Every structure is written in C-alpha cells, then in structure tokens.
Structure 1
Amino acid sequence: MRADGILFDKDGTLFDFGATWNVWAADAIRGFAKGDEALARRIAQELVFDLEAGAFLPESFVIAGTNREAAEAVARALPGADVGEIEIKLMEDAAEAPLVPAVDLAPYLEGLAASGLRLGVMTNDTEFAARAQLRTVGVEGHFDFIAGFDSGFGAKPDPRPLLAFADALQLDPGRVVMVGDSTHDLIAGRRAGMQTVAVLTGMAGTEELYPHADVVLDDIGHLPEWLRA
C-alpha cells in the first residue's frame, strides 16, 4: 500500500459534479431572480453558467471556488444585496442539493478503512454543507477529518488545509494521497508534498489535470487498485 491516508475533495470527486450541481445551480439562479429572466441571465453570467444548457461552463470559478466567491458573484448581479445573506442562503440550499455519488460510497469507504487508511474530506464548500451532504448519504461517520474553506485552515490551492489533515492524524504528508477533480486540488496536494490523484467526475479533462497528477482515473472507484500497485 503506497499511502496511510486519503484526503478527498467533495464536489466532482465523491459526488459527480455535473449530475449534482448543474440542476441545483439552475434552480438557485432562478430562485434569486424571482421570475425576472433578464436578471437570471445576469446572475448566470456572473457565475459563468450556461442557462440554456443548464450547466456550468468548464472555466467557471464556481467549480473549484468557495461558497463566499459564489455569493459575491450573485451579489454583483443584485444591486444592494447583502453578500452575507446570500452566502447563508447558498450554504443552506447546498446542504439539500440532489446528490449523485460517484460510487456507492458506504461500502467503498468501509473497504478503504478496513485496509488501514485514514480518511478525510477537504472542500472549498462550507463545512456545514459538507457535513450535511455526507450525512445525507450516510457516510459522515466514515471520515476522520472534514473541513471546508471556513474551518480555519484556508482554501485550496493553499496547502494548509491539507496539512491540517496530516497533522490531525499524525500522518507523513508524503504518505497521504490528495484526490480531486480540479487543478486547485492537485496544486494544493503538490504544495503539501502529497501524492496527487485526479478523477474525471468533475468538469476538467485529462489534458488539464495530468500535469499536476501522479495518475488520472475515471473515478474514485479505481483508486484502491492504484494504491495497491
């Protein structure tokens, strides 16, 4: 086994990004617009979201960004809006998003833990939303560490939240694998001195991810085989 711990990103890694967040975002945009189609288009433009296709564009900052950054973008389209109130609204709504796991998570995580691996989640979403979503699919208790951008360690691509996982569980960073679907995840992993695994269940493709990854996998289901290789 080439590692002692695995730190997962959440959206696009544990959960398929498009299947989970495109539908949610389209509904959220129209909710903020309250029936005003022109306003919905302005909000979508700020979020780099294609309303006609019902999908984030690959270059959207939202894919790897923080909840605060998304709230600020929505506020730019709503003159006089309170960013803090929008941030709370996004956090609460995200906790109830229609989740689509990349694999059947409970048995998958049980298998990793049974092999002696310590498991964590570090997301640029809020810790509140992360815990709520993991609880919804019945796997919050499978993780030894869960952090969001607001947990006090910073946000990716800063390596500090990744190193917080290693410190909390007394792991050598070189024996930790950072698994993610964006360059933010992988750059943070490299900066932390960790092994990096990219997955294709997010919005980025192999060409974008490969320069920053030790390996690119279709999804996290292929990770155990790579760990044993």
Structure 2
Amino acid sequence: MTLSSSDKSTAAAAPSAASDRPVPAGPIKGIVFDKDGVLFDFQGTWGAWAHRMIGALAEGDDALAQTLADALAYDRPTRSFRPESFVIAGPAHHISEALAVHLPHRSLTDIHEYLVTEAANTPLAPAVPLRTTLSALKAKGFRLGVATNDAERAARAQLASQDALDLFDMVNGFDSGYGAKPDPGMCLAFAEATGLAPETLVMVGDSTHDIDAGRAAGFTCVAVLTGVATEADLAPHADIVLPDIAALEDWLESL
C-alpha cells in the first residue's frame, strides 16, 4: 500500500540520478512544484480527506461507502490510497466523475463543488517546513511556481493556509486553462510568464505524470519520495531522486 518507514529511509539514504541523463551543468533559475506528494505529504493529507469525504457522501450507508472507496482505489482500514489509484496523479474532475457514477441522486457539478470546497479546507500535512524551505530558495533568486492537477482555488487556499502563497510567482491547477499533467501546458505557461528558458527550469514531482510533463516542456526533472511512488518507480524517469524538497537547496548548490 504505502511506503513503510523502512522503505522511505532506505530510499532517502542517497539521492540517485538516472544514469543516462546527466545532471544539468547550466544555471537553474526557476522551480515548478507539484503540490500533493511534494509540498504536502500525500497520504497524511489526502488519506484523511478521503475518509471524511466518503463518509459524508455515503450518508451512513456502509456498502455505498465501500463502493465509493473502491472507485478511488482507497483502503478504508488504513485510510490510504493504493499505489494504483488514479487519484494520486490525476486531475480533480476525474475524482468527481468516478464518484458521480455511484451517486445518481447528486449532480456532477454538486459533487465537484463539494470536493473542491473540502479540499480547500482540509487539514494539511506539509512534507517539510514550507515557509522556511521555500523562502531559502526564493532568497537565492529562484522563481517558484506550482503545477498541480488539483483545482487552482484549492491550491491557493492550501498554500495561503501555510503562509506560503506569496512565495510563488504562479500557481496553476488543472482548471487554470493550460491543461492537466502529463501534458506540459502548466510548465510551459510558467516559462512564458517568467520569461525563463525551459532549460533553466526544474519540475519537481512525486509521480511519472509530473516527470513526463516536465520532460515534455524541456525542464530538468527532480523526483521526491514524499508521495506514494518509490525510488524504483521514479528513478528511471527523473534526472535525480531526492528524499524531499528540503534537499533541493544542497542539490542546486552542487551544480
């Protein structure tokens, strides 16, 4: 299901780079982050959210609650998403669509609005001390952005709740008009908005959707292990695998 603590400590022991993709020698000027599994610990935040959301939508019907959980590949006893769940990397509207099939008495619009509102208000589990980590990068002159398959409104509310929204030059969600990952639109929009060339930018993600989006945009791609995927899942795709975004500063200095 989720990475055990022993799995994470082993994976985080030493950053690894894909052998056929050299670490860039040129200057990096900007960093785009996925949100869930990168800025926020995925299971710690969204496992609890799903438990509350499924219970509310099922309205006391345990069989329906299990049906909704199965539709999302969510394990109710452990309150965590299974590794194969599309929720981990897919856009938020796919969750609404998957649940609406089993909730014929509620409209798709109503379900989606409920999920976005709950997401915006959900208690968060930051992967690292966000203000401290991001401020250190900002102080070194890096331009920062977010590219998430969550809704932009939810992303902004969550970042604001952690006193981190002002640190980002651009926050894009699947509904911001640039498409959803693995398409590169959100990454390319950040490059255009900042006036920075793609080869000077980094995409940081916890899934192959993130890495594929960054790769298609011409970014250097960094994977972190604060999501559900393991180092073995990510290393073949990313330029380097780090334990979390707190390790970015040292890695960037090493370039």
TM bucket normalised to smaller: over 0.9
Could you tell me which residue of structure 2 aligns to residue 7 of structure 1? 32
SS in 1 for 2:64: helix
> Which of 182, 189, 194 in structure 1 is aligned with 2:207?
182
Which residues in structure 2 correspond to 1:101-116 (within 5 Å)?
101-116=126-141
Percent identity among equivalent residues? 52
Shift of 1:161: 1.0
Which residues in structure 2 correspond to 1:18-29 (within 5 Å)?
18-29=43-54
SS in 1 for 2:227: coil
| Structure 2: distance between partners of 1:111 and 1:220 | 11
Higher relative contact order (CA 8 A, sep 6+): 2
Q: Name the aligned partner's letter for residue 109 of structure 1.
A: L
> 1:125-163: CA deviations, max 9, x gaps?
000000000000111111000010000000000011100
SS in 1 for 2:146: strand
- Structure 1's unaligned 5+ residue stretches are none
Count of paired positions? 229
Shift of 1:82: 1.0
SS in 1 for 2:223: strand
Question: Could you state the TM-score of these two structures normalised by the residue count of structure 2?
Answer: 0.88
Question: Could you state the TM-score of these two structures normalised by the residue count of structure 1?
Answer: 0.98
> 1:174-207: CA deviations, max 9, x gaps?
1100001010000001111100000000010111
> Which of 52, 60, 78 in structure 2 is aligned with 1:53?
78
> Which of 145, 149, 155 in structure 1 is aligned with 2:174?
149
| Structure 1: distance between partners of 2:27 and 2:42 | 28
Runs of 4+ off more than 4 Å: none
Could you tell me which residue of structure 1 aligns to residue 225 of structure 2? 200
Could you tell me which residue of structure 1 aligns to residue 144 of structure 2? 119
- Give yes or no for contact 1:113–1:119 (8 Å, CA) kept in 2: yes
| Structure 2: distance between partners of 1:34 and 1:16 | 28
> Which of 156, 177, 194 in structure 2 is aligned with 1:131?
156
Q: Name the aligned partner's letter for residue 187 of structure 2.
A: L
In the alignment, does 2:246 pair up with 1:213? no
Could you tell me which residue of structure 1 aligns to residue 55 of structure 2? 30
Could you tell me which residue of structure 1 aligns to residue 20 of structure 2? none
SS in 2 for 1:135: helix
SS in 2 for 1:6: strand
Q: Name the aligned partner's letter for residue 14 of structure 1.
A: L
Shift of 1:80: 4.0
Could you tell me which residue of structure 2 aligns to residue 75 of structure 1? 100
Q: Name the aligned partner's letter for residue 181 of structure 2.
A: K
> Which of 117, 130, 139 in structure 2 is aligned with 1:92?
117
> 1:9-53: CA deviations, max 9, x gaps?
000000000111101111100110000000000000111101122
| Structure 1: distance between partners of 2:187 and 2:99 | 29
Could you tell me which residue of structure 1 aligns to residue 247 of structure 2? 222
In the alignment, does 2:82 pair up with 1:64? no
Shift of 1:81: 2.7
Could you tell me which residue of structure 1 aligns to residue 3 of structure 2? none
Could you tell me which residue of structure 1 aligns to residue 14 of structure 2? none
| Structure 2: distance between partners of 1:22 and 1:80 | 25
Q: Name the aligned partner's letter for residue 48 of structure 2.
A: V
SS in 2 for 1:62: helix
- Give yes or no for contact 1:177–1:195 (8 Å, CA) kept in 2: yes
Q: Name the aligned partner's letter for residue 92 of structure 1.
A: T
